[in-house]
Amino acid sequence: MIQTIGLTKRFGSLVAVGDLNLTVGSGELFGFLGPNGAGKTTTVRMLVGLLQPTAGTAIVAGHDVLQEPLEVKRAVGYLAEVPYLYEKLTGSEFLRFVGGLYGLTDAESDERAERLLGLFDLEEKKDQLVQGYSRGMRQKLGLSAALLHEPQVLLLDEPLAGFDPRSAARAKEVLRELCSRGVTIMMCTHVLEIAERVCDRIGILDQGRLIAVGSMDELRQQAHSAAGATLEEMFLRLTGDGETAEAAAMLGRAD
């Protein structure tokens, strides 16, 4: 459902993403990790059509992001790390507006919005202006908007930022359920525990280059880590912070 072929993005002399070749299968929950500035958000923005690649291309839901940008946008649900919301609309009005962009009738939008707002504990806030929402509430509304048109592919950048523990647990259940129905999810996150628990496979980007990809067991092999190594230990080892990785491993043994 997602394939990148030599995907590259340069900003002047800076190579933000370099020659990225990656495949994410149907129904897979793929974690996309990397240090700050590694190129994760740039990659996702190219996949959703918000940035033009410098070289290479990507196929999303069977459509080339360069040749068929509108078809890609129809098939994709996107949540930015800081979602852009219209603050002078209520939660319900915003979701109806988003539904209209995807060709849903008001009745279809309202029915789906009611279900999503209930799922994320926003039903009591649906008639309040977005400007009064907390960060977590804004993130829930943004995730609801990404899900509203029932996309084939979800591209999520730090989707659980600001979520309280109960809401985060609910959201993880929702994501796994969507994957069981064949939806493909690519999720950028700095919360390694979440990636370790819910993702089928994980890719690690560093300085714009994909340095490791696979299941937890496959990453352990690539990182030359012990059988019980955590994702945090492997991440630190693979991204060059070996001393911190060793300290984390020692603390884990001490516990």
The tens digit of pLDDT for each residue in 141-154 reads 999 999 999 999 99
CA distance 103 to 97: 10
What is the structure's pLDDT at 241?
A: 61
pTM (2 decimals)? 0.90
Across 100-116, average pLDDT: 96
pLDDT confidence tier of residue 254, bands split at 50, 70 and 90: very low
DSSP-H helix ranges across 102-241: 106-119, 135-147, 165-180, 192-198, 216-222, 231-238
CA distance 243 to 236: 8
What is the structure's pLDDT at 247?
A: 47
Of 25-29, 68-72, 160-164, 210-214, least confident by mean pLDDT is 160-164
Higher-pLDDT residue of 20 and 167 is 20
Query: Would you call 103 helix, strand, or coil by DSSP?
Result: coil
CA distance 203 to 2: 13
The structure tokens 């001490």 sit at 254
Q: Please say whether the structural domain 2-214 has been given the CATH code 3.40.109.10.
A: no
Question: Residue 233 pLDDT > 50, yes or no?
Answer: yes
What is the structure's pLDDT at 255?
A: 47
Across 232-243, average pLDDT: 82
How much helix, strand and coil, in percent to the nearest 5, is found in the chain? 45, 25, 30
What is the structure's pLDDT at 246?
A: 52
CATH code 3.40.50.300 region(s) in the chain: 2-214
Which residues pair with residue 210 across a beta bridge? 205
Of the chain, the percentage scoring pLDDT greater than 90 comes to: 87
